[in-house]
Structure 1
Amino acid sequence: MTAPSFPPTRRRCLLAAACLPWLPAAFAAGGESPRRDWPPQRQTPALELDRIEGSTWRLDSARGRPVLLNFWASWCEPCRAEMPALQQLARERGSDGLQLLAVNYRETEAAVRRFIATTGLDLPVLLDREGAAAKAFGIRIFPSTIGIDRRGRARFVVTGEFDWSSPQAARWVAEL
């Protein structure tokens, strides 16, 4: 069976549509901030996901602690590149109560375990097996990180790879 052949105009439209999700990250790389504030009228989605080690983690159980949810996938090179800075941030700010969780997007548990074994990832890993959590938070670009304050309210979304060891990141985390 051969692939369908689309007219040149339709092909260009399909290609443009396929590229749309990456445009915000491209602009962020050009100097604009990759952060956008969470809309005040939008509720923070409830979240309950399995941890890689088998227990369940619920966002409402983190009330009183600031939370960063980093949505990632092992096939995502920018995700892999930002992991060391996220791990360092978790080590430095964990004593302040910061909870930093790596939410894996739709990969098998075996694939996630292989990634952890080969990279030494030591952040708590949650499994978004069907992608429902990413969808609820409006995540379409990886990596993306959601900042949630001590009251359990989403405050911001950082889209694309970001230097979490930067002074800007420290200010954003302090807001939480």
Structure 2
Amino acid sequence: MSKAEQFAKKRKNRLMIRTVVLFLLFGAVIFAIVSKDTEKVLAIGDKAPDFELVDLEGNKHKLSEYEGQGVFLNFWGSWCGPCKTEMPFMERQSKEFEEKGVHILAINIKDTRLKAESFRDQYGLTFPIAQDKDESVRRAYNVIPLPTTILINKDGYIEQIIAGGMDEEQIQEAMESIQP
């Protein structure tokens, strides 16, 4: 067999291998898309999933117990820059709106209890901070970026989903929008 024939044969083999690998990858992608268990993504107007978490003081908070009131449900982490920025604004607005039937429930993601307590103390936060240790609530609400705030109206339905940090005016407007 000549060198040209050997070269052509090697080239044909490489092409065949590449084609098979490409076909397998394409098949794997299609299989992943078709067979994926899809979670329902929450949207405005959906009933907010109920949950029960314990705050840093040991008090239980069940979302359904807030029915008749607005809930500013904020998911955050101590390492999150925008979370650090919005927390003082949230604290000020929580004092303004608690008497008006709007409550902040902050849900900490991935911090140790000590880290969450230290953060709370550093920022002088008085609203409840619960920890979602197994991240089941984060998953139920399909929260990915931090901070994310879910505004829940007095009837327990989602009014708005806000991914990213907010300034004080935005927080005030958000709390007004869920005031009973």
TM-score, scaled to structure 1: 0.72
C-alpha distance in structure 2 between counterparts of 1:81 and 1:39, whole Å: 26
| Aligned with 2:103 (options 99, 102, 124) | 99
| Aligned with 1:59 (options 60, 63, 68) | 63
Give the letter aligned to residue 173 of structure 1: M
CA shift for structure 1 position 46 = 1.2
SS at match of 1:81: helix
CA-based RMSD of the aligned residues comes to: 1.7
CA shift for structure 1 position 119 = 2.5
| Aligned with 2:152 (options 145, 148, 159) | 148
Superposition pairs for residues 33-52 of structure 1, below 5 Å?
A: 38-40=43-45, 42-52=46-56
Q: Any stretches of 5+ residues in structure 2 without a counterpart?
A: 1-41
Q: Against the structure 1 CA distance between its residues 55 and 170, is the aligned structure 2 distance closer, same or farther, given a 3 Å change threshold?
A: closer
CA shift for structure 1 position 111 = 1.3
Q: Against the structure 1 CA distance between its residues 98 and 132, is the aligned structure 2 distance closer, same or farther, given a 3 Å change threshold?
A: same
CA shift for structure 1 position 169 = 4.1
C-alpha distance in structure 2 between counterparts of 1:169 and 1:112, whole Å: 22
Q: Any stretches of 5+ residues in structure 1 without a counterpart?
A: 1-36
Give the letter aligned to residue 55 of structure 2: R
1:126 aligns with 2:127: no
TM-score, scaled to structure 2: 0.71
Q: Which residue does the alignment assign to 2:112?
A: 108
Structure richer in helix, relative to its length: 2
Rg larger for: 2
Q: Against the structure 1 CA distance between its residues 68 and 170, is the aligned structure 2 distance closer, same or farther, given a 3 Å change threshold?
A: same
Identity value in percent: 29
Q: Which residue does the alignment assign to 1:173?
A: 175
C-alpha distance in structure 2 between counterparts of 1:112 and 1:169, whole Å: 22
CA shift for structure 1 position 154 = 1.4
Number of aligned residues? 137
C-alpha distance in structure 2 between counterparts of 1:175 and 1:74, whole Å: 27
